[in-house]
Structures are given as C-alpha cells and as structure tokens.
Chain A
Amino acid sequence: MSEQLGQPGITSTSILGNPVLRREDDTLVRGQGRFVGNVPLEGALHVQFVRSTAAHGTIGSIEVDDALAMPGVVAVYTAADLGLDDRPVLMGFYPAEMARPFLARDRVRFVGEPIAVVVAETQYQAADAAETVWADIEPLPPVLGLSDALDGENLLFPDVGHNVAFRNSVEDPFDFSGYEVVVTENIVNSRVAAVSIEPRVVAAGIEDGRLTCWASSQGAHNFRKAVTDLLGIEGEDLRVFVQDIGGGFGAKGVTSEEEVMVVHLARKLGRTVRWTETRTENLTGHVHGRAQEQKVTIAGTSDGDIQAYRLDMLQDCGAYPRFGAFLPEFTRQMASGVYDIERVEVEYTSVVTTTTPVCAYRGAGRPEATAAIERAVDLYAAEIGMDPAEVRRRNLPASSAFPFTNATGTVYDSGEYEMVLDAALEASDYTGLRAEQQRRRDAGDNRQMGIGICVYVEITGFGGSEYGEVSLQADGTVLAVTGSTPIGTGHLTTWAMIVADRLGVPLEAVTVFHGDTDRVPSGQLTGGSRSVQIAGSSMGDAADKLVDLARDAAADLLEAAPDDLVLDRGRGAFHVAGTPSASRSWAEIASEAAEPLVGLSDFVQAGATFPFGAHIAVVEVDTETGQTTVERIVAVDDAGVIVNPLLAAGQVHGGLAQGIAQALLEEVRFDEDGNPQTSNLADYPAISMMEVPSYERSFTETPTPLNPLGAKGIGEAGSIGSTAAVQSAVVDALAPFGIRHLDMPLTPERIWSALQASGA
C-alpha cells in the first residue's frame, strides 16, 4: 500500500483511531511508577510548614527558638529571614499590593497560610518541631461572603483600599423591559477542590553541582520558569524532572509557593530537601476551584426564541488573586454556550476573601459558563411551558453557520450541535423517559424521576505550539521528544501512535521522551485540553519533517530524485514510484545515513478549538429522604477526530464523575470564623464508586480545521456537560413541588429542606 507523503488526516489502515492499550501501564500496575515520592534520595532533609490557624489577623511575633532546639532540626525560617521577595501578582492584572508573601508577613489571610518553615533530618522531627513554633496573631474579622468582600468594610490589603482584584464592567447595561418573557435567578457555583490523589510533592537538591528538582507539575518548563524567576536565577541553573504525576486537574498547573520555597531551601542549605503535603494541607493550603456567585437574566419570546442573556458574576479569589481572579474571563467568552443569542452581556468582579486561594480546576471558567446558561435556559423553558430539549434545539446555530461568532465575540471553529443533541435524546429514549416521569408524577411516587439536558461547547487548546522532535536512531528505532507533560493522560502511548503512523514503523519502534528540562529545550503546560491537538500535532509534524529528511537520504542511496520516492508505510520503506524493489527501509537509512536525521516541528495552531456535546442525566430523587441516585448518564461528545478512543473515553469518564461530584456531593465549606470545615477526606466527600452510574457514551467526530489531526480537546468536557445535566435533572425531579432552582451541591439535606419548605 502506498500513500501520498505529507497527507494529513487518517487512512483506513492507520493505527490512529484505534483503542491502543497504554504503554504507561506496565510499570504503574506494578507499583513502579516514577512519582516524586518514589525517587530514592539518600539523606534528604524534610520540610514542614507551620500554617496559620486564624483566617485573618495581624502577626505580632513568631517564636522559633524552641523548634530550633529540637532534635534533628536543621533550620527554621519565617518571612523575616527566608530571603524571598513577595510573589508578584499574575500578569500585572491585579493591584500590585496584593502580591503574596511566601511566608505570611505582618498579616495572615487564610487558615492554612504558611507562616514558618522547619527543615529537619526526618519527617517526624520536622513535624514535632513545627508544633512548637508559636505565632502571636491578633485576630481580625474574616471576610467570607462575597458581598462582605464588596462592601469593603474589612480589608485584606488595607493599602489597596478595597477587596476588588479585578473588574470587568459594561458601560451601558441594556434594558430587559421590552421582552415578552424575562426570567432571572441567582446561582451559586460552589467551591470545590481538585483532590488529586497524589498530593503536592516536591524534592530538590544539588546533583553534579547543579540545582535539581523533582516536581509533580503539569509542566516541567513552566515549573522551572516559575521557580527560577522567583529565585532570581537563570533557567539553565535549574534542572527539573517531571516524570509520573498522580493527577493534576488544573490545581498542579500553577507552581505553588511551598514548592518554590522547597527549591529555595535546597539552594540555601546546599542539601537535598523534600516535602510531601498532608491531605489536610492539600484541602486547605492548596488551591480550590469554581467559587462563583452568578445572576442570570434571560429573555425571549413566549414561543421559544431566546433573544437576550445577561450574566453577572462575583468571583471569589480567596486570599490572594492569581489565576482564579481571571476565571470569569473564560466564563465571559463562553457565556452564551451553544446558543445563537442576539444580545449577550457579561459583567464580573473578582474579590479577595479570607479563604484558600482559588485557581484553575478542570474546566476553569467554562463549567461555570455552561452551568449558568443551561440553568437559565431551563428556567426560561419552564416559564414558557416548553420542553427543554425543544427550546435548546430552536436556539442552536445551524451547522452551516460555522465558523460561528458568538455574541461575546468568540469564534467557534466547527460544530454540529443539533446532531449531538439528537443523538443523546435518541440514545436516552427521551420520549420514553418523559412518559415514565409523567407516570411517576401522576402516581405521586415517592421516587421521582428527573431528566436533565446539557448541550455544551467549550474552548480548548487556545492556539500556540509545543516542542516536538522526532529522530531516527542508529539502530533504526525512533526517538520522539516532546515538550508536553503527561498528567495521567497517556501521552506516551498517543504520541507513539501518531509518530508510528506517520513513519510507517511499528509502535514498539518509537520511544517517547519527556520531562527533563536539560534534554527537552522547551515545553508548555498541560492544560486547557491542549495536548492531543497541539502537542500531538507537533509530534506528527516533526515526524513529517523526519520523513522529508529520510526521503532525501534514501534518494541519495538509491540514486534517485527525492520527488520520485514514495514512503510505503505498510513496509516502513521508501521506494521509487512504480519500482517497489528499489527501496530503502528505515533501518537501512539509519545505518547508512551520514548524519543523524532529526525532524523538528514548527507547527503552530492559529487559535482555540471548540469541542461540544450533549449530556443527559437521569436521576431518581427519594422525596422522603432527599437522596438522589444518578440512574443514567448519556454522553455524546464531539472533540473532533479521536486519536485513541480508549484514552479519550477515559478522559470523559473522569470528567463525568467530577461533574456528578460537584452537582451532588462535593463542596469546600468554611464556618463563620473562616475555619475550613472540609479539611480531610472524611469531611470532603470526594466521589467514590458508589455514586457513579455506568456511563453510556459515544463520540461523534466533527474535525477542526485548525490542526492536521482534526482534533480538539477532551480533557475537561466531561465535567462541563455532566455538572449542569445532573443539577438540571434533580431540579426537574422536584418541579412538581414548585421548586424551580436549587444550588449545587444537591445533597439530601438541601433537597429535603427544599421539599419541606415547599410543603410537600
């Protein structure tokens, strides 16, 4: 079989599109994963942070003498002698005075904020010594509710004069009074925690005279840049290894203050140091996600034409604004979701509160947009008495409308929204479900059924490039070097598939290398569901470049013109067109080539891609106890062309579970003094196998024109669709009781209370 060279896309004989099993798994199932905690580090010191137990207060003195006298203690630092400047605010967006000190200086702003750090020979010694550090903290009133934060009476940063980190206002708010139907609702998009099963962990030391670090991060190079910038050293002065990481979900996308301090301490002490956070530190001292208060206003005709939508957001950034303060901007870009709405208006304000900082969590701003618009559409459908599926259908842009510019100016690359809605309706037997629901309603059944629909679109990739290098080794095998960092996402398998496909070599002939900043010149963060579309395309592009070089080399060897050679991917050999016997295989080229052949990618994706889908949730609510059971999740997702359906489906599964989790169970809570109420996994109900249904899901494939694979992102979509679908389903089950909206998480207590209040 012969193919045209450089032809993008997928052929019928390609390995792409097949459920290839993961090459990562053999070591992982043996317990031999290369996680940071498994790196053998002889004689490493242990780091323990002393954290604030007050949500807000001024620091008088901090006593460390007792700790210094404890056995095994090597050093104890506070802000005064740590020797690090405050961390500047992100991208210069926020008031500069909101910079975060590495160890609290003068003032603490959340429970869990580090105020001192102890370094000792063993973990137990460090923990014991940390117990003896005593801080004199004069309490200040906490700032908890977002309206509290806005009224500006209690300030986290008195020098700033207010608690606002960022604001985006509309000059001339438009007038909703002229519309036939107008519905409004206040919605809380609850604060949740990423809960990667591997907590934060980092180790650093001096290896061969170089500062070296082993990190659990979503990007080796991003980690290096963050640390070296803050330490004031050159990038090449730090070598970062990122091998296996035990889950990221956005939370490990921003290098945390503690991690920077650990590298700083290794440098300062000239010793190897390591730190593993406890689960309580993870739940209180690492970042949280979501945490938005929203107000939706939706307007249209009484026959189902949505004409205007307004979204007001208050974003809780927690104590220090970083990426979290910017989340509403992603929400703004995606505010109108899949709908073609003429007028859309978005305003938001990001405020600081005396709580754990908020950052990216799976979806980062887009699940918030979807939850808001989908609730609004449901409320509007209920108001005009129209089936929610029908209202959605009426307001979707036709497939001929793509590229489609939404009302906030975001350009969606490709979409078939009605197709996925129809597919999900059919797969779920929507008509049958509605009939069963009616039967239960008529019978006054105490197990009411709810059906929730979410049609979503999300933004992924965000354009840009990724380092990709594919080279032919002397033994005829292929080495692929990537700048991307796998985070449990199967990159090694996927990149090998793409490279093997382009070159026409067996999968086993391709080795994929990543995660050593000495060997890989550059790399981007794994986030925004960018990997397959951008890093995968760069792998394919580098492989294509290698094919070009190899064709020239083969032409020399065959004394033919390069243009006359074709690559027979089935055989893994170049031959003269029409003369298959005059050929050179990859192995022959490798052994005969005068110099190593290295293909380097220069692929740049011009913009973002927009995967979409329709999720339908079917729940049963016990009206006597308020208990919800998710009976079914039907998910039809379209992330363009799928390279490995096994892995892509795995991403959807994980996202679906996290969506169900936010909708029904998980929420980070604080008491009125700002004390965390969910500081371990007994109190924070991370979703378990008991709460998920078996998933009914499928893919449709609408390619994007923006990369040669035709792929969009699938890492976050699952959580974006399912959260809204499950919430909607529960509210739908409660509709006969006059309940039109309930906030997440829809716990039995919340549902039961609502039913009591409704007089059920």
Chain B
Amino acid sequence: MSADPYVLRVNGNDHQVPDAHLGESLLWVLRERLGLPGSKNACEEGECGSCSVQIDGELVCSCLVLAAAAVGREVTTIEGLAPDGELADVQRAFVEAGAVQCGFCTPGLLMAVDTLLDELSDDGSVPDDLTVREAISGNLCRCTGYGRILEAVSIAADIRRGESRGDLA
C-alpha cells in the first residue's frame, strides 16, 4: 500500500517521494528512491552508524528513522557535505590523516564528526580525547582500528577553528 506522495528536503533540495510505503526507512528512501547512495546500509538496526545523517543538524541513524517522519525537516547527507565540489574540512582531514581504508564506514563517520564539530564550535572548545571517542563510538569501522580517525578529528577541529595545519600539505 503506497502512502500519499510526500516531499523530503535533502541537502537543500526538495525531493518528491512518490509511491513510497509508509514503513520505509529514511536510509532506504535516500538510497533506493532518491539516488543518494552515500549513506550506507550495514546493519539497519542502529548498531553501526554507517547510515548516519543529520536531521535539523542532529545526528541520527537513518536506518531507524521513517522517511515520512523527516517531512518538513532539513536532512543533510554525505552528498551535502561538499555541495560546491570542494571537500569539506572533515573530508579533507580524513584524507590527510589516512583515515579511510575501504571507505564503507566513512560517510557515516564523517557525518558524526561534522556534527560533533558543529556542537563544539558553538562554544569554541577543543574536543578532548574522551569527548571524541564517546561521540564517535557509535560508528563502527573494521579497517582502520580507529587510530587515524582520532587524528583526523583533531585535524578537522583545527581547520574548523581556522588554524591551518602547515605540516599537512
């Protein structure tokens, strides 16, 4: 049974969602109906963070959110991080730190780190080790052992605060 068509606002654009079933997750709709496969399906039960997106700036597992529940809200996915083609600070930091291996977890991690830095930038603080670990512990990565991800977060935090990292050409 199809629901009435609805509109999702994703990365600043309105997308019509026709023929959807009401039970479809936001992750499914993004990937299968809107052609935005950057968010990944790795467990679809809220345990790995690969599907992480922002809704009104808040980090969610899109596999746990009904797409229809995001109507009228602003959804940001990995595809929205670098809208003008230039890599965003978190993306640059991941590349520079060597924090990507297979890259399957990476979009979700980037959304998590971006959200963390947004929250911190409100008070201008530098994230300490435990804050970062806690913020990202919901994102599983099986390749990197997380070592370089910690490094990437610190690079991204510096970039966002406007401190360039001269050692990373």
Q: Which residues of B contact A29 (CB under 8 A)?
A: 87, 91, 94-95, 100, 103, 106-107, 110
One of B36, B96, B142 near A686 (C-beta < 8 A) = B142
Instruction: Confirm or deny: A19 has a beta carbon within 8 angstroms of a beta carbon on chain B.
Output: yes
Query: What is the CA–CA distance of A40 and B32 in the complex, to the nearest angstrom?
Result: 9
Instruction: Confirm or deny: B5 has a beta carbon within 8 angstroms of a beta carbon on chain A.
Output: no
Contact indicator A31/B37 (Cβ below 8 Å): yes
Query: What is the CA–CA distance of A33 and B87 in the complex, to the nearest angstrom?
Result: 15
Stretch at the interface among A487-495, A590-598, A730-738, A748-756: A487-495
Instruction: Confirm or deny: A458 has a beta carbon within 8 angstroms of a beta carbon on chain B.
Output: no
Instruction: Confirm or deny: B78 has a beta carbon within 8 angstroms of a beta carbon on chain A.
Output: yes
- Determine which residue in B31, B36, B82, B147 has the highest number of CB atoms from chain A within 10 A of its CB, and name it: B147
Contact indicator A276/B41 (Cβ below 8 Å): yes
B129 smallest CB distance to A (angstroms):
8
Question: Quick one: CB contact mask for A1-26 with B, threshold 8 Å, 1 for yes?
Answer: 00000000000000000010110111
Query: What is the CA–CA distance of A650 and B104 in the complex, to the nearest angstrom?
Result: 15
Contact indicator A279/B45 (Cβ below 8 Å): yes
Q: Which residues of B contact A199 (CB under 8 A)?
A: 42
Given the known A-B contacts A22-B95, A658-B145, A680-B43, are A28 and B140 also in contact in the complex, defined by CB atoms under 8 Å?
no
Query: What is the CA–CA distance of A695 and B146 in the complex, to the nearest angstrom?
Result: 10
B1 smallest CB distance to A (angstroms):
11
Query: What is the CA–CA distance of A37 and B38 in the complex, to the nearest angstrom?
Result: 10
Instruction: Confirm or deny: A515 has a beta carbon within 8 angstroms of a beta carbon on chain B.
Output: no
Query: What is the CA–CA distance of A682 and B43 in the complex, to the nearest angstrom?
Result: 10
Contact indicator A650/B39 (Cβ below 8 Å): no
- Determine which residue in B42, B103, B150 has the highest number of CB atoms from chain A within 10 A of its CB, and name it: B103
Contact indicator A246/B102 (Cβ below 8 Å): yes
- Count A/B pairs, Cβ under 8 Å: 178
Given the known A-B contacts A31-B78, A688-B137, are A657 and B42 also in contact in the complex, defined by CB atoms under 8 Å?
no
Query: What is the CA–CA distance of A19 and B97 in the complex, to the nearest angstrom?
Result: 10
Of residues 44 to 59 in B, which have CB atoms within 8 Å of A's CB atoms? 44-45, 47-48, 50
B75 smallest CB distance to A (angstroms):
14
Interface on chain A toward B: helix, strand, loop, or mixed SS?
loop
Instruction: Confirm or deny: B77 has a beta carbon within 8 angstroms of a beta carbon on chain A.
Output: yes
Query: What is the CA–CA distance of A718 and B147 in the complex, to the nearest angstrom?
Result: 13
Contact indicator A21/B103 (Cβ below 8 Å): no
Query: What is the CA–CA distance of A464 and B149 in the complex, to the nearest angstrom?
Result: 35
Question: Quick one: CB contact mask for A665-708 with B, threshold 8 Å, 1 for yes?
Answer: 00000000000000011100010111010110000000000000
Query: What is the CA–CA distance of A248 and B43 in the complex, to the nearest angstrom?
Result: 16
Instruction: Confirm or deny: B144 has a beta carbon within 8 angstroms of a beta carbon on chain A.
Output: yes
User: Number of residues in A with C-beta < 8 Å to the partner?
Assistant: 57
Instruction: Confirm or deny: A197 has a beta carbon within 8 angstroms of a beta carbon on chain B.
Output: yes
Instruction: Confirm or deny: A32 has a beta carbon within 8 angstroms of a beta carbon on chain B.
Output: yes
Instruction: Confirm or deny: A656 has a beta carbon within 8 angstroms of a beta carbon on chain B.
Output: yes
Given the known A-B contacts A29-B110, A31-B39, A690-B133, are A650 and B77 also in contact in the complex, defined by CB atoms under 8 Å?
no
One of B21, B44, B77, B141 near A197 (C-beta < 8 A) = B141
B71 smallest CB distance to A (angstroms):
21
One of A24, A196, A654 near B103 (C-beta < 8 A) = A24
B23 smallest CB distance to A (angstroms):
8
Contact indicator A694/B43 (Cβ below 8 Å): no
Q: Which residues of B contact A28 (CB under 8 A)?
A: 100, 103, 106
Q: Which residues of B contact A194 (CB under 8 A)?
A: 142
Query: What is the CA–CA distance of A32 and B78 in the complex, to the nearest angstrom?
Result: 9
Instruction: Confirm or deny: A646 has a beta carbon within 8 angstroms of a beta carbon on chain B.
Output: yes
Instruction: Confirm or deny: A268 has a beta carbon within 8 angstroms of a beta carbon on chain B.
Output: no
Instruction: Confirm or deny: A288 has a beta carbon within 8 angstroms of a beta carbon on chain B.
Output: no
Q: Which residues of B contact A223 (CB under 8 A)?
A: none
Determine the residue in chain B with the shortest Cβ distance to A246.
Answer: B104
- Residues of A whose CB lies within 8 Å of any CB of B are 19, 21-22, 24-26, 28-33, 35, 37-38, 40, 124, 194-199, 244-247, 249, 276, 278-279, 487-490, 646-647, 649-650, 652-658, 680-682, 686, 688-690, 692, 694-695, 718
- Which 8 residue pairs of A and B lie closest in terms of their CB atoms, listed nearest first? A31-B38, A488-B102, A246-B104, A28-B103, A657-B145, A653-B145, A31-B78, A681-B47
